[in-house]
Amino acid sequence: MAWPQDLIRLQDIDQELEDIEERLSDIDLRLQDDSEVVQARAMLKRSAEAMEQAQRTQKDIEFKLQQIETKLERSGQRLYGGKVRDPRELADLQAATKSLRERKAIVEDTLLEAMIAREEAEAAHAVAQETLETTQTEWEAMQQALKEERDRLQAHRRDLQEEREALRAGIPKSALDSYEYLWPRTGGMPVAHLQGDMCGLCGVKVLRATRIKVEKEEEAYCDGCRRLLVA
């Protein structure tokens, strides 16, 4: 291949290498990012704590209720056992029993609420568990896919770099120097094709002398944008 064509191929390769570098650093960032899993794990921990708290609350209330029932049983035995005969003592006992019954009704309502809360907390915990498992599985699959893509890109980059070195060896040094000088100044497009007598990138009609240089495969520059011109 004549060197002007090599220069065009070099530009293609360098552009592709830039894209590869960009994608590789994006992949690196994504490989380090496990925030979704961390978040799902934190959610599960919070839901487990909430569930345990709700279970404890229900147990506490059940215990309270049991204590009231025991007291009620005892006062019932005394009230109807026939051993207490003093009217005043009986009246006190009746009042205490009545108050215990009222207390029992209140605690029973609280227990019902606690049971509902406990069931809800258990359901939320199950959902959090499932979410973590799904997130973890998806994350692992994504990591695997990213690693495979990274390996493919790295292999491709090695091939391109080899081809690049071979191409550069056949391009005149002054053209390479211009190419490198123009690269950052042209947004990574230092070489343009001459189309007829016009620059394929900026559209300027070039001088006849410039066109002849291009045809003779000599180093030539666009009279408009100063890019390297090739046929």
Give the footprint of Zn ion on this chain (CB under 5 A): 199, 202, 222, 224-225
What number of H helices and E strands is found in the chain?
5, 3
Least distance from Zn ion to the Cβ atom of residue 214, Å = 12
Find the shortest distance in angstroms from Cβ 204 to Zn ion: 5
Q: How far is the CB of 230 from Zn ion (least distance, A)?
A: 12
Whose tokens are 């520059």? That residue is: 221
Closer by beta carbon to Zn ion, 176 or else 198: 198
CB-based contacts of 136, cutoff 8 Å, min separation 6: 37, 40
SS3 content of the chain, % helix, strand, coil (to 5): 80, 5, 15
In 3-state terms, what secondary structure has residue 200? Answer: coil
Residue pair 228/180 in contact (Cβ under 8 Å)? The answer is no
Task: Report the residue number, 44 or 229, with the smaller CB distance to Zn ion.
Answer: 229
Is the CB of 65 or the CB of 202 nearer to Zn ion? 202
Q: Using the minimum distance from each CB to Zn ion, give the nearer residue, 114 or 225.
A: 225
What angle, rounded to 10 degrees, do the helices at 35-80 and 87-169 form? 170
Least Cβ distance, residue 201 to Zn ion (angstroms)? 5
Nearer to Zn ion, 16 or 223 (CB): 223
Cβ 225 to Zn ion shortest distance, Å: 3
196 three-state secondary structure: coil
Structure token digits, residue 114: 């606690």
